[in-house]
Structure 1
Amino acid sequence: MEISVVIPLLNEEESLQELHDWIAKVMQSNRYLYEIIFIDDGSTDTSWQVIEQLSAKYTAVKGIRFQRNYGKSQALDAGFELAKGKVVITMDADLQDNPEEIPELYNLIIKEDFDLISGWKKKRYDNVVTKNIPSKLFNAAARKTSGLKLHDFNCGLKAYKKEVVKAVKVSGEMHRYIPVLAKNEGFNKIGEKVVQHQARKYGETKFGIDRFINGFLDLITISFLSKFGRRPMHIFGLWGTLMFLFGTTLAFYIGAVKLYKLFNGVKTILVTNNPWFYIALTSMILGTLLFLAGFLGELIIKMKPDEKHYTIKEKLNF
């Protein structure tokens, strides 16, 4: 298998037949051995019935149907797990990604040995206020935080070596940061290609302005996880130890001053009336809690088995 095309979708009944025919035409004209994996993320229209018809007619078409809507990240993770191609191409199902880009993306992975190629929609046909401007802000923050010089982290059109998709685990809303996840797994040859973006032909976008708010929150999460996700004790244990030592030192100082004044016959206020006593006590408690958080994090990482955060209802042609 040369190419696996992984397509997550939600309520895209009108575009699926046209998208399949377009992809098949590109694949056959280049004589690729391929598979198309549609992942129905809980559609409420007839998307799954269209996929059933396509899979019955074409053995290259495979389908995964979720029990309910879990999100694009979970859909991609399911597709990655079952993909068999040497190169895995992801694209959206709304016909805004152009299948004619596939041969060049494939060649960049196979001939130029890139681990991952991310599409860049340099010219976009989206709403300027709700998508273009927030997207530019989001991508600027992602570049600064991750160190990857990509212009369009959220472009659905990407190409991967098979080894990359088998190594990364995509959950939550982390599909925007697959290049960052790949980098964290040691795949450093990550490139970018300008791709053609097309206006939506059918239906309406499934994403609102809230996705950029969630995107920034996920960016903070992945930045933290990339540094401390596999060694939580290094952050929680460090700050916990420092806070506990600060509180303990302050408590000993308060006690020493109190004893010194008592031995010298100086009347002093009660220790509990000293505000620094409560600062010391709070620091020791917080320090202990942070240390325990780091310790529990280490235990969870070592003992927790891999989990899937979705339920597959049906599969076709697997």
Structure 2
Amino acid sequence: MKLSVVIPAYNEEESIAETLRSLHGTLAKYGIAHEICVTNDNSKDGTLRVLDELSLEIPELVYYTNPGPNGFGYAVRYGLERFTGDCAAVFMADLSDDPEDLVKFYNKMVEGDYDCVFGTRWSNGGRVIDYPKVKKIVNRVANFIVKMVMGIKYNDTTNAFKLYKRETIEGIKPFLAPHFNLTIELPLKAMVRGYNYAVVPNSWTNRKFGESKLKIKEMGGRYFFILMYCLIEKYFSQGDFKKKVANSSAKAVSR
């Protein structure tokens, strides 16, 4: 099964080379057929130049420049419309995600034939390194609200690092979120629409270069909008968007 890794990149000149080399080296080490699909989100620094250079070094690298509209969600969506693999992972350009964890996600999906594999940084086996205190508080409160509103056990919905089969990506369209709220739209739609999933612990490390693109003050209303949309679909869509298989009940497995 070919793995596509979708990476949004905005002004990641200092981080992108280390990220892509580490990612490619790890996947090659385990013999995983893959492509690395980077969306340069109209960066103003040398990100595009670095991608040009790396394409000569990493044959599995494909990249696009999103002319606009721009934003994290738009950049991820741009990649999700163009990847060629059998499954696609959303992976961060700043190497906050660990390529070894991606291998665990991939193996879990293959072994259990799951539609999705979600990461959690806050359960046994998960860890965070240098996580900003205020951001952590906001994260835990936001994830608690999502759990209570949606009636789910999964505790890290806002974690962007997730893996989806191609059929799942097609089944949860159309996408609505233009910004970081896409991180909750994808998994919540998958749950509501009956796609099964596994939860695997993962690690998160704060970026070494640049600054986070997530602006907490700007995102509250946007997250709330997506949460309400998914809640309405869950209770009022009459199953119109459900996964079309004989047994479509979702199952969650943690380890």
TM category (shorter chain) comes to: 0.7 to 0.9
1:127 has 2:132 as partner? yes
1:88 has 2:88 as partner? yes
| CA positional deviation for 1:55 | 2.2
Gaps of 5+ in 1: 232-318
Contact preservation (8 Å) 1:2, 1:32: yes
1:221 has 2:226 as partner? no
Which runs of structure 2 are paired with 1:267-286 in the superposition (5 Å)? none
Contact preservation (8 Å) 2:97, 2:205: yes
Distance in 1 (alpha carbons) for counterparts of 2:233 and 2:183: 15
The equivalent of 1:151 in structure 2 is: 155
Q: Aligned partner of 1:99: which letter?
A: P
| CA positional deviation for 1:229 | 5.9
1:190-248 CA-to-partner distances (Å, cap 9, x unmatched) read: 221110111211111111222234322331233224444689xxxxxxxxxxxxxxxxx
The secondary structure found in structure 2 opposite 1:118 is strand
The equivalent of 1:196 in structure 2 is: 203
Contact preservation (8 Å) 2:35, 2:61: yes
1:99-136 CA-to-partner distances (Å, cap 9, x unmatched) read: 1112211111111122111111223332111x111111
Contact preservation (8 Å) 1:135, 1:212: no
Which sits farther off after the overlay, 46-55 or 69-78? 69-78
In structure 2, do the counterparts of structure 1 residues 190 and 128 end up closer, same or farther at CA, with 3 Å as the change threshold? same
Q: TM-score, normalised by structure 2?
A: 0.83
Distance in 2 (alpha carbons) for counterparts of 1:203 and 1:230: 45
State, as a whole percentage, how many aligned pairs show the same letter.
26
Q: Aligned partner of 1:205: which letter?
A: S
Distance in 2 (alpha carbons) for counterparts of 1:127 and 1:156: 17
Distance in 2 (alpha carbons) for counterparts of 1:166 and 1:218: 18
The secondary structure found in structure 1 opposite 2:78 is helix
Contact preservation (8 Å) 2:159, 2:183: no
The secondary structure found in structure 2 opposite 1:82 is coil
| CA positional deviation for 1:72 | 2.0
Which sits farther off after the overlay, 218-227 or 153-162? 218-227
Which runs of structure 2 are paired with 1:36-185 in the superposition (5 Å)? 36-122=36-122, 123-124=127-128, 125-129=130-134, 131-169=135-173, 170-172=175-177, 173-185=181-193
Contact preservation (8 Å) 1:81, 1:166: no
More strand by share: 2
Distance in 2 (alpha carbons) for counterparts of 1:26 and 1:111: 19
The equivalent of 2:248 in structure 1 is: none
Point out 4+ residue stretches in structure 1 off by more than 3 angstroms. 225-231
Distance in 2 (alpha carbons) for counterparts of 1:185 and 1:225: 9
| CA positional deviation for 1:95 | 1.2
Gaps of 5+ in 2: 240-255
Distance in 2 (alpha carbons) for counterparts of 1:212 and 1:29: 40
Q: How many residues align?
A: 230
* Structure possessing the higher radius of gyration over alpha carbons: 1
In structure 2, do the counterparts of structure 1 residues 73 and 226 end up closer, same or farther at CA, with 3 Å as the change threshold? farther
Distance in 2 (alpha carbons) for counterparts of 1:153 and 1:168: 16
| CA positional deviation for 1:181 | 1.1
Distance in 1 (alpha carbons) for counterparts of 2:83 and 2:192: 22
| CA positional deviation for 1:64 | 1.6
Distance in 1 (alpha carbons) for counterparts of 2:62 and 2:236: 38
